[in-house]
Amino acid sequence: MARPQRIIRVFPRRTSMTPRDDYAFVGDPPLFIPPADEVHVDCTFTWDIPKAQRLAEAWRQYYFVVKLGGFALESYSGEFEPGLYLRQGVTITSRGCNNNCPWCLVKERLREIKIKSGNIIQDNNLLQCSKVHISKVFDMLRPQRSIVLSGGLDSRLFTNSIADDLRSLRIKQLFFACDTKKAIKPLERAKRKLNGLGRNQLRCYVLLAFNNETISEAQERLEAVWELGFMPFAQLYQPADKYIRYSKEWRSLARTWSRPAAMKAAMRGSNGPR
């Protein structure tokens, strides 16, 4: 029997989704490195490409085969391999999205891929998949615990049937998105369909500062998401071709609205006890 291929994965930065096994590394080669057949430098964000390129050269000093790829470089586009570039428990059942939103880094057209088991779904737009595929994903999730749908559910595609299926699962958190003022109404309709799930289970990505949005406009949208019964998760807009360094005021707003305790204090201060 052939020996399994040993692949070292290298990441420019650590996130909550980064694998933590003995063959996953962040940054430059350490003093002691394991034997391996290949090194894959995985780059997710375009602004990390120069660092990823430098890391690839650094690891080439020790290994013959070093590959540079990842989402930012549009490679590694085959089937999802659990635990390889994302930590164990995270799975992807589809790639891409057909919306082509101007602020979004996801430009790949939606395609369904083979479903692999996991309790954290990281699809770009799961609800854009076929009904058959979504049904198979829910079937895979039914025996799982602490289920998280973290890719950002599109509230415009949210139906009573989807809500019923989600209520049949052991949900820890569902992530929606409210990137514009127009997204508030669909989010409100989705919340009505999920009556019974509380704020700790319902999270919502909220894009800030896109298309000359003011701080007061962003705060108004964040508070509207809170009022609907979601826990906002603020994200400052970053384009694909550069990294924006935001002002102290914008950073403060994003920091407040990504920390539950700070949000609760802010809402108590502006509107009384909640």
Q: Do strands 66-69 and 7-11 pair parallel, antiparallel, or not at all (unpaired)?
A: unpaired
- Provide mean pLDDT across the span 63-74: 83
Predicted local distance difference test score (pLDDT) of residue 149: 96
The pLDDT score that the predictor gives to residue 181 is: 95
Q: Where in the chain is the domain with CATH 3.80.30?
A: 89-271
Tell me which CATH code domain 89-271 carries: 3.80.30
Q: What is the pLDDT of residues 235-258, one digit of tens each?
A: 999 887 778 999 999 999 999 999
**SS3 category, 219:** helix
pLDDT score for 195: 83
The span from the CA of 164 to the CA of 167, in Å, is 5
Cβ atoms of 254 and 244 within 8 Å: the answer is: no
Per-residue pLDDT averaged across 200-222, rounded?
96
Average per-residue pLDDT for the chain = 90
Residues facing residue 10 across a β-bridge: 25, 41
pLDDT reported for residue 78: 59
What would the pLDDT profile of 84-143 be if each residue is shown by its tens digit? 888 889 898 998 899 989 998 787 889 898 999 999 998 999 999 999 999 999 999 999
Give the model's pLDDT for residue 235.
Answer: 95
- The 3-state DSSP class for residue 241 equals coil
Whether 74 has a pLDDT exceeding 50, the answer reads yes
Q: Is the pLDDT of residue 218 over 90?
A: yes
**Rounded-to-integer distance, Cα 149 and Cα 126, Å:** 9
Higher pLDDT, 47 or 111: 111
Residue scoring higher pLDDT (54 or 107) = 54
pLDDT confidence of residue 274? 46
pLDDT band at 49 (very low <50, low <70, confident <90, very high): confident
- Closest by CA to 186, choosing from 229, 224, 222, 157, is 157
Least confident of 13-17, 44-48, 52-56: 44-48
**pLDDT given for residue 176 in this prediction:** 96
Beta strands in the chain (DSSP E): 7-11, 24-26, 38-42, 66-69, 90-91, 94-95, 111-112, 120-121, 147-153, 171-177, 202-208, 231-236
pLDDT, tens digit (0-9, with 9 covering 90-100), for 21-39: 999 999 999 999 999 999 9
- Give the pLDDT score at 77: 54
- What per-residue confidence (pLDDT) applies to 202? 96
Q: Crossing angle, helix 260-271 and helix 248-256, to 10 degrees?
A: 100
